[in-house]
Amino acid sequence: MTLIRVFTALFALLSSTVLAVTPIKVEGSQFINAATKKRFQIIGVDYQPGGASAYNEENKSDPLSDGDICLRDAALLQRLGVNTIRIYNLNPGLNHDLCVSIFNAAGIYLILDVNSPIAHESLNRVEPWTTYHKGYMERVFGVIEAFKDYPNVLAFFGGNEVINEDAVKQVPAYIRAVQRDMKQYIANHSPRPIPVGYSAADIRDILADTWAYFSCNIEDDPDSISDFFGLNSYSWCGDATFESAGYNTLVDQFKDTTLPVFFSEYGCNEVQPRIFTEVAALYGKQMVSAMGGGLIYEYSQEDNDYGIVELHENNTATTMIDYDNLMEQYSKIDIALLESVDQAGATKKPVKCTPDLIKDDKFFENDFKIPPPTEGIPDMIKNGISSPNKGKLVEVKETNVKFDVFNKDGRKLEGLQIKILEDFQSNLPGENTSGAPGEPDFGSEDKEDAATSLSRSNVLSLLAIGAGATLLML
């Protein structure tokens, strides 16, 4: 008892220091940890509790504004083994200090989208010139201001799936214009460079041109180039293979990449439950020089059925079988391979933009003329936006999760907490940080029957799936 008290006191003491992850920088085709000089590959999950529609005119609270909820989710994500989350919709006016500090303490980086579904908070793909104005860029710069001072902000997405079959061919130039303005704003007002890039839909017909368009250098508009390239890819479903999922063609396409490429979303849900065998391929020898990891879509279970954790209204949560399956796949990642720098890739330089890079000019102008900033934007880039809301790391004093979390069998995850990592460390899979499943908790006698039959039916369906899989393998 006394010993436990001493340890608790010691832990409280330790946890009151503000520790920080090391900022990540881009070198050629890779993300590199600036302190350890090791390669940083994204082991990530997309994080948008409430789904894309939760952020709207009425509800401008965002996924980084409630510390108790962030603590629960950071503990579950740390336990899972991720080192990065992506967040889509943020309100630059809110206080994010506690949430971002919690993720920082757990060794988890953030990739942040600067847009939102609200009108005038993203580019219009049909008439982009109507949305590229001072009001829109003020929001974009507001997001940069709100997050630039946190060390665990890995990158910003300037656009997500803006180019699709409906987009006019001027759209890519506007995306590059937004990237240019963001990078110039960061250069003038951020304490460190923060990479900026684009997240593309996996439309194989236009993928090569999309990549070529954003990854080449325009001599008289050098800031508009992407620093990295995100791909939302759902081609690996169930127990697919490297070939059947078309990962071989991705490797062909990206093996000589001059900037980091990663899956900004992946995790097809056509076969349920998901077994995530693509994780072994993505972090394995075949893909390691072409790809820099990826983010599983997505953390919370929503109507579209891509979740790995069910979040309940009373703030308790239940991890799904997909969570366990993903954790198991992550735990098999070869960390030495993951962290080893590909020296040839690290020195790669972008090619010059030339018309012949574009194969199909239906979706892309091949003249690489980027629209100049419209009225009011240059002044903000030079002098900053007025009265920005700026974030800063704070001490994380509370590490124990306040809400009960259960696993798929109804067993409570005991002692769920975030483990505060040392300076320079980021989270890694296979560490089992906290939350070992306790005894099955079926509560009072009248609940017992229901609970037992529930878990039995789960077991039965699992057995059925297992048998099915075995038959398939034979």
Ligand X SMILES: *[C@@H]1O[C@H](CO)[C@@H](O)[C@H](O)[C@H]1NC(C)=O
Catalytic residues: 161, 265
* Contact pick of 13, 220, 314, 439 for ligand X (by CB under 6 A): 314
Tell the smallest beta-carbon distance from residue 240 to ligand X (Å): 26
Distance in angstroms (rounded) separating the CA atoms of residues 110 and 319:
22
Residue 447 binds to ligand X (criterion: CB under 6 A): no
Q: Mask 384-403, x = binds ligand X (CB under 6 A)?
A: --------------------
Tell the smallest beta-carbon distance from residue 430 to ligand X (Å): 5
Residue 59 binds to ligand X (criterion: CB under 6 A): yes
Which residue, chain included where needed, has tokens 């038959």?
A: 471
State the virtual CA torsion across 164, 170, 171, 176 in degrees, nearest 10: 140
Distance in angstroms (rounded) separating the CA atoms of residues 176 and 190:
20
411-414: long-range contacts at Cβ-Cβ below 8 A with a sequence spacing of 24 or more? 411/437, 411/438, 411/439, 411/440, 411/441, 412/437, 412/438, 412/441, 413/79, 413/319, 413/437, 413/438, 414/438
CA distances from 21 to 13, 71, 144, 340, 422 (A): 19, 17, 19, 19, 8
Distance in angstroms (rounded) separating the CA atoms of residues 52 and 123:
17
Ranked by CB distance to ligand X, the top (closest) residue is: 50
Question: Residue 200: helix, strand or coil by DSSP?
Answer: strand
Which residue blocks in 259-352 are alpha helix, DSSP H? 278-282, 321-331, 335-339, 343-346
By beta-carbon proximity to ligand X, the closer residue of 277 and 331 is 331
Site for ligand X in 407-446 (CB under 6 A): 430, 432, 436
* Contact pick of 55, 263, 266, 306 for ligand X (by CB under 6 A): 55
By beta-carbon proximity to ligand X, the closer residue of 351 and 436 is 436
Q: What ranges make up the beta strands (E) of 189-227?
A: 196-201
Directed axis angle between helix 204-215 and helix 171-189, to 10°?
40
By beta-carbon proximity to ligand X, the closer residue of 95 and 331 is 331
By beta-carbon proximity to ligand X, the closer residue of 2 and 314 is 314
Of 17-25, 49-57, 276-284, 372-380, which segment contacts ligand X by CB under 6 A?
A: 49-57
Q: Are 179 and 198 in contact (CB under 8 A)?
A: yes
* Contact pick of 23, 44, 63, 307 for ligand X (by CB under 6 A): 63
Residue 54 binds to ligand X (criterion: CB under 6 A): yes
Q: Are 397 and 412 in contact (CB under 8 A)?
A: no
By beta-carbon proximity to ligand X, the closer residue of 44 and 49 is 49
Of 52-60, 199-207, 230-238, 281-289, which segment contacts ligand X by CB under 6 A?
A: 52-60
Residue 62 binds to ligand X (criterion: CB under 6 A): yes
- Cα atoms in the Cβ-side hemisphere of radius 13 Å centred on 298: 21
By beta-carbon proximity to ligand X, the closer residue of 87 and 207 is 87
By beta-carbon proximity to ligand X, the closer residue of 223 and 310 is 310
- Cα atoms in the Cβ-side hemisphere of radius 13 Å centred on 240: 23
Question: Residue 433: helix, strand or coil by DSSP?
Answer: coil
Residue 316 binds to ligand X (criterion: CB under 6 A): yes
Of 144-152, 160-168, 218-226, 308-316, which segment contacts ligand X by CB under 6 A?
A: 308-316
Residue 141 has what DSSP assignment? H
Of 46-54, 135-143, 259-267, 363-371, which segment contacts ligand X by CB under 6 A?
A: 46-54
Question: How many residues interact with ligand X (rule CB under 6 A)?
Answer: 15
Of 53-61, 165-173, 242-250, 374-382, which segment contacts ligand X by CB under 6 A?
A: 53-61
Binding residues (CB under 6 A) for ligand X: these are: 49-50, 54-55, 59, 61-63, 312, 314, 316, 331, 430, 432, 436
